[in-house]
């Protein structure tokens, strides 16, 4: 096991449950073996144990106790995570959200009685067997499937793996959310197959006024189907042809009519002469690093500029960002810039976040990543 000694004062944030120890906060590392490190303050006080990594985040803390990081440890954490989630109507949700559930680098999504896991750090990957045993020990899992084939800019040196870890994974399955059915392609869908973080926002769009709606970046029809279910005439757009095919199937199995189009969102907006009462835009994360924030603001303001041409005055725009580095203020700045000089204003009606199965811990700012601004397009004075 490695031993990590911190610089003076760093212990304070650790004692307040911030889990990341950056390289420049480390005074000395003793030992060269293993993915678990014991962490001590400059004065030699034991602070706890965490995942060790050679990336710029040297340790991701797991516990302040002198306890084994074994199957029993993961079992207790997963049980605790389950108790926090009360989606009584939905059998499918995010069961473990990494740092938000004090399990850095571990994602577990529950698809009915099956589980899709992602290991995002070297430590989590190294202890994969214990984590899988803990999932089996605390649930009646029919299958566990790994989707660690994600894109990242991190220097973690991880293998991009995917495949079955337990049981027989169905090629596709149908889950239910807010009384709507969604087909999920476990092995080929984006991320782990479904974007659970937007659940409550998808439900909220049903309360919006209007007759016609456009769902940009629709994926398999998440917002579009909720809008159609509440009586909107809906168009859904995504550049992924495969996901648009699933979206069309999703409309069919829910007896809903939606016009799903496979296209780049900007191309669609430039090419259409239609007007809508509601426009949703839930783009992919756009940037991975803080240094790219300007680029993201520029893309989002271009998007806003195109959206204002297809949105009726008095219509509602819901713009989301799932990048931690594009905060709420950057998102609002993009909206403001997007209509500058047009004689229009955005009246912000609501700001919403990721659903509660993706916990936002105040002590860990990085756990808040998804935000959506709900604004009405109005004439200025």
Interacting residues with ligand SAM (CB under 6 A): 190, 195, 198, 202, 217-219, 222-223, 238-240, 243, 264-265, 282-284, 322
Q: Which residue is nearest to ligand SAM (CB)?
A: 222
Of 17 and 266, nearer to ligand SAM (C-beta) is 266
CB of 269 to ligand SAM, least distance (A): 10
Coil/strand/helix, residue 191: coil
CB of 263 to ligand SAM, least distance (A): 7
CB 99 within 8 Å of CB 366: yes
Ranges assigned E (strand) in the chain: 2-6, 20-22, 26-30, 36-40, 46-52, 57-63, 93-97, 106-111, 114-119, 143-148, 161-167, 172-177, 180-185, 212-216, 233-238, 258-262, 276-281, 311-321, 344-353, 371-379
**Which pair of structure tokens corresponds to residue 17?**
């449950």
Report how far residue 316's alpha carbon sits from residue 122's, in angstroms, rounded to the nearest whole number. 43
Question: How remote is the C-alpha of 318 from its chain's centroid?
Answer: 17
CB 48 within 8 Å of CB 63: yes
Of 197 and 277, nearer to ligand SAM (C-beta) is 197
CB 166 within 8 Å of CB 132: yes
Of 61 and 370, nearer to ligand SAM (C-beta) is 370
Of 80 and 270, nearer to ligand SAM (C-beta) is 270
**Helix, strand, coil percentages in the chain from 3-state DSSP, rounded to 5:** 30, 35, 35
CB of 180 to ligand SAM, least distance (A): 11
Report how far residue 49's alpha carbon sits from residue 47's, in angstroms, rounded to the nearest whole number. 7
Question: How remote is the C-alpha of 191 from its chain's centroid?
Answer: 9
What region does 341 belong to: left with phi over 0, alpha with psi -120 to 50, or beta?
left
Catalytic residue list contains 320: no
CB of 370 to ligand SAM, least distance (A): 9
How is residue 196 annotated by DSSP? Answer: G
Of 218 and 354, nearer to ligand SAM (C-beta) is 218
Of 109 and 282, nearer to ligand SAM (C-beta) is 282
Report how far residue 145's alpha carbon sits from residue 168's, in angstroms, rounded to the nearest whole number. 9
CB of 257 to ligand SAM, least distance (A): 19
CB of 222 to ligand SAM, least distance (A): 2
Of 11 and 355, nearer to ligand SAM (C-beta) is 355
DSSP letter string, 149-182: ------------EEEEEEE---SEEEEEETTEEE
Q: Which of 322, 372, 375, 377 is catalytic?
A: 322
CB of 197 to ligand SAM, least distance (A): 9
Give helix 293-310 / helix 328-338 axis angle, nearest 10°: 50
Strands 114-119 and 20-22: unpaired
Q: Which residues are catalytic, by number?
A: 322
């Amino acid at each position: 096991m490695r031993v990590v000694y911190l610089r003076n004062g760093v212990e304070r944030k650790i004692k307040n449950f911030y889990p990341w120890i950056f390289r420049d906060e480390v005074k000395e590392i003793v030992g060269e073996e293993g993915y678990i490190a014991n962490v001590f303050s400059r004065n030699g006080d034991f602070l706890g144990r965490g995942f060790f990594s050679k990336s710029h985040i040297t340790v991701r803390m797991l516990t302040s106790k002198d306890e084994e990081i074994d199957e029993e440890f993961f079992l207790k954490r997963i049980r605790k995570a389950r108790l926090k989630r009360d989606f009584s109507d939905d059998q499918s949700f995010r069961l473990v959200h990494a740092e938000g559930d004090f399990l850095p680098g571990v994602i577990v999504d529950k698809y009915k009685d099956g589980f899709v896991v992602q290991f995002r750090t070297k430590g989590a990957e190294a202890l994969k067997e214990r984590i899988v045993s803990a999932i089996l020990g605390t649930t009646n899992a029919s299958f566990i499937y790994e989707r660690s084939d994600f894109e990242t800019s991190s220097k973690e040196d991880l293998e991009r793996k995917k495949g079955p870890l337990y049981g027989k994974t169905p090629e596709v399955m149908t889950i239910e959310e807010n009384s709507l059915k969604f087909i999920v392609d476990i092995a080929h869908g984006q991320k782990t197959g479904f974007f659970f973080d937007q659940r409550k926002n998808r439900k909220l769009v049903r309360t919006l006024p209007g007759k016609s709606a456009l769902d940009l970046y629709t994926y398999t029809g998440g917002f579009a189907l909720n809008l159609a279910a509440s009586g909107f005439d809906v168009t859904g757009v995504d550049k992924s042809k495969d996901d648009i095919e699933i979206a069309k199937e999703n409309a069919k199995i829910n007896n809903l009519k939606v016009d799903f189009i496979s296209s780049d969102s900007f191309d669609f907006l430039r090419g259409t002469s239609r007007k809508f009462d509601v426009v949703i835009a839930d783009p992919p994360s756009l940037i991975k690093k803080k240094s790219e924030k300007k680029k993201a603001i520029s893309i989002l303001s271009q998007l806003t500029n195109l959206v204002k041409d297809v949105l009726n005055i008095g219509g509602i725009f819901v713009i989301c960002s799932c990048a931690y580095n594009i905060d709420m203020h950057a998102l609002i700045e993009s909206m403001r810039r997007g209509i500058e000089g047009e004689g229009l204003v955005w009246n912000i009606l609501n700001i919403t976040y990721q659903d509660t199965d993706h916990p936002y811990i105040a002590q860990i700012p990085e756990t808040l990543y998804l935000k959506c601004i709900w604004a009405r397009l109005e004439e200025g004075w």
